[in-house]
Structure 1
């Protein structure tokens, strides 16, 4: 069936699958190392409470059957281990049906995590990984030539990622239309990287060129993905170059890397190496691929309408399985950067000798002399949510109070999420949070002070707070100002 499968994409599939498995490994590692503090049994937003509150039809998950921190850890570390075996090529060393089962297990495990992750897993790249991982189940292995229908579905996904991001920019902030957004973006993005300061200090005419090039990459190039080869491969290459530029300029978890992986699936591998002769697909596999193609096309109606809507939504899932979603990023760009600085003190009351010491976060700006670090594709979930909280206290309402309680209690799992704990022995008596306005320093300020940031106090975010004494043995503890 030459219309159904083509050996020309054998190399593209091999690289795509290995790279996707690598992204899965990072995602499971992020879950394994952070879940206890964020969603564990004693976490900030505990999974058991969420499962009691939300019906199964809205959040299907393996943890509906059973939840414990030990079981979650088993799933997360097991997913990471399985991902690494697929990176090593395990999917091509087993029969086709077994290979599909391995990819399905990865997808099911990560779906189970995302659907109980609550606000910590509300990012677009979670759905993007699940949608990509679902399609990967049906991409086959060395027992059959790559199915063209699945490859086209991957291009359709990449089209929605790029074109959706382009449209949301043009419909959103006026600075995208007048080509000035990058005057601010590198400084105000959620988590700057080690080169973000230098990108921000590029000449403004170059920022305008960057913005215009972004529009071409997101509004024109995606259509070329559906043209004949080698034009489609060139379009995929342009997507890769654009995404690697974003990798250099900031930290966006695995969003850029996964977009690169999707682009690789559109490259004609025969342009690089002669493909081997692969077997024709078995009938059951062909029927299954056709059924999945119909399912995805039907489920694409909502995301397609969203692309064409004046009220386009970003990063929305249209079903609890995250099969077909809508994407987008930076429909608006902040002109200033505010950061929440969390501090503690040993003093039970304010006085002339009160000393407040600052907690250090791993990724978000804090110490003005600390150059931002590179963490992507690893995802620092708490640091990202701190950025949202600085935009509006409404983002912080469900979790900031419990975070403060755990810092006052000296919770080890929570402290492991931080870079620096200023109270290594005994927890502080009180904690406060203050909102500062940050900006990148100039070249002159950097030379004179060695500081990458300059900050000024804006206002109080949380007044000094201590743990309240329990009203009764069953009342528990709470943070009170």
Structure 2
């Protein structure tokens, strides 16, 4: 069975598996801490209502058999526990089949969450985690060397992530072709990080170099993953460095870290492989059958990738086994933010005091410096960025969000950095206003201490209150 395994990649597999387990842990922790306000029984987009409209075949999930907030919490915290066990190496303590089943558990649990998560779970890295997580089931443990075909499928995912993103950029915004997109991107990206202000103020010639290097990394380097070592190791290393640069410049949840984990699987570490027995026949048959299935399912992502009408971040099957990826085909030139405020006055007057709600990650107070949250995913903050682009992105949930602010809903307020109202005195009215944000200059930063400057644009939501029926209910 020498043709079936790649013993020299045993340490690559180990590093990848532990990194993937850590990412699973963050994903389940994010779900456990945020779900009640987002998709819980009293959430903005409740799961029970969604399940009444969507059949199991379209969105396979454990919650089709039973849903309650307590059961969802059990699923999410169980996912945390299993992920922690995998991070500690529990799969290596089990027989091969037991390790595979253990890796299957977080995939099945997270699939159940994503398939009822609706808008809050519509990000590309959800499908990416499921696709990579499913493949990890068939990587084996200490009882067998890594299967070559599974490693190549991992690198195939990495290829599609990088090459797909490169193509959508070249086909999309002309600023990618002119090498000028990073004149704007660090300022207008969804979730700036603590260093984003400094990245934005790098010299423009360096921004051109950044974009050119990005094109090389995404359009040329991925092909080298399939060249024998040491070229493939060098290619993966270039991708890791590029992803770390993105980690420093913004908050993209676990997208960059998962890409790094996949790239680590292609790095051949200089370590002597341990002696392992030949792979059992049943394992060979299962792996080859799964590989054949995934290759067949890759048809749609490949067609999409080479199409002039390429779409990004789409799943082609309800199990998220094979998906298409790509981001920032176009880059915003101007940053808008929705600022949400409340007042205790009834009715509000011209001179009413409007107090601003502060979010954890999205820009608000111009003097509040962004923090690093990734790989943790602030779902509400990300959706607020989309809401600022167009009210159409917020139509399904923004009204429910405002309603819960008017109720001082405890779970919703936990998603925020600070509420300006005490727990026993909710606002009588809430409004939303649209502002244009820009990074301050070096001089403005020294004089004001503010990293942002903002200008009022227009009303986003007029002052809104609960009806007496809703308030009493």
Interval containing the TM-score (normalised by the shorter chain): over 0.9
Q: CA offsets, 1:81-137, max 9 Å, x none?
A: 110110010011111111000111110000000000000000000000000000000
**Displacement of 1:69 after TM fit?**
0.4
How far apart in 1 are the matches of 2:69 and 2:12?
A: 38
SS across alignment from 2:466: strand
Alignment of 1:74-473 (within 5 A): 74-269=74-269, 272-425=270-423, 426-470=425-469
| CA distance, structure 1, for counterparts of residue 125 and residue 56 of structure 2 | 23
- CA-to-partner distance for each residue in 1:319-374, whole Å, 9 max, x for gaps? 01000000001000000000000000000123254100000000000010011000
**CA distance, structure 2, for counterparts of residue 351 and residue 298 of structure 1:** 64
1:236-289 CA-partner distances (Å, limit 9, x unpaired): 0000000000000000000000000000111113xx211111111111000000
C-alpha spacing 1:263/1:245, structure 2 compared with 1 (3 Å): same
The 1:43–1:241 alpha-carbon spacing in structure 2 relative to 1, beyond 3 Å, is: same
Q: Is the 8 A contact 1:409 1:427 kept in 2?
A: yes
Deviations 1:365-385 (A, max 9, x none): 001001100000000000000
Structure 1 gap segments, 5+ residues each: 471-475
Residue 5 of structure 1 contacts residue 148 of structure 1 at CA under 8 Å; is this kept in 2?
yes
Q: Which residue of 2 aligns with 1:46?
A: 46
CA 1:446/1:478 → structure 2, altered by over 3 Å: closer, same or farther? farther
C-alpha separation between the residues in 2 aligned to 1:203 and 1:373? Answer: 23
Q: Distance between the aligned counterparts of 1:301 and 1:348, measured in 2?
A: 59
CA contact (8 A) 2:348 2:429 kept: no
Aligned pairs, how many? 472
In 1, Cα distance between equivalents of 2:208 and 2:351: 51
The TM-score with structure 2 as length reference comes to: 0.99
Write the distance in 1 (CA, Å) between the matches of 2:174 and 2:351: 49
Q: Distance in 2 between matches of 1:406 and 1:478?
A: 14
d(CA) in 2 for partners of 1:281, 1:424: 62
Q: For residue 2 of structure 2, what is the aligned residue in structure 1?
A: 2
Runs of 4+ in 1 over 4 A off after TM superposition: 476-479
Q: Following the alignment from structure 2 to structure 1, what is the Cα–Cα distance between the partners of residues 44 and 27?
A: 20
* Paired residue secondary structure (1:467): coil
Conservation of the 8 A alpha-carbon contact between 2:20 and 2:261: yes
2: CA distance between counterparts of 1:151 and 1:310?
A: 30
The answer (yes or no) to whether the contact 1:467–1:478 under 8 Å persists in 2 is: no
Q: Answer yes or no: is the 8 Å Cα contact 2:407–2:471 preserved in 1.
A: no
Using the size of structure 1 for normalisation, the TM-score is 0.97
Question: Where do 1:9-24 residues align within 5 Å?
Answer: 9-24=9-24
Distance 1:25 1:127 in 2: 16
Cα distance between partner residues in 2 of 1:205 and 1:8: 42
Does the CA-based 8 Å contact 2:159-2:223 persist in structure 1?
yes
* Distance in 1 of aligned mates of 2:144 and 2:260: 24
Residue 473 of structure 1 corresponds to none
Q: Deviations over 1:177-212 (max 9, x none)?
A: 000000000000000000000000000000000000
Higher mean C-alpha displacement, 196-205 vs 349-358: 349-358
Residue 30 of structure 1, CA deviation? 0.2
Contact 1:405 1:478 in 2 (8 A): no
Q: Distance in 1 between matches of 2:352 and 2:14?
A: 61
Give how far 1:235 is off. 0.3
Report SS of the residue matched to 1:129: helix
Query: In 2, are the aligned partners of 1:155 and 1:262 still within 8 Å (CA)?
Result: yes
What is the CA–CA distance in structure 2 between the aligned matches of 1:227 and 1:138, rounded to whole Å? 23
Whether the aligned pair in 2 keeps the contact of 1:131 and 1:324 (CA below 8 Å) is yes
Paired residue secondary structure (2:336)? strand
* Residues 104 and 137 in structure 1, CA contact (< 8 A), matched pair in contact too: yes
- Is the CA contact 2:192–2:249 (under 8 Å) kept in the aligned structure 1? yes
1:381 and 1:340 mapped to 2: Cα distance?
Answer: 15
Write the distance in 2 (CA, Å) between the matches of 1:3 and 1:93: 26
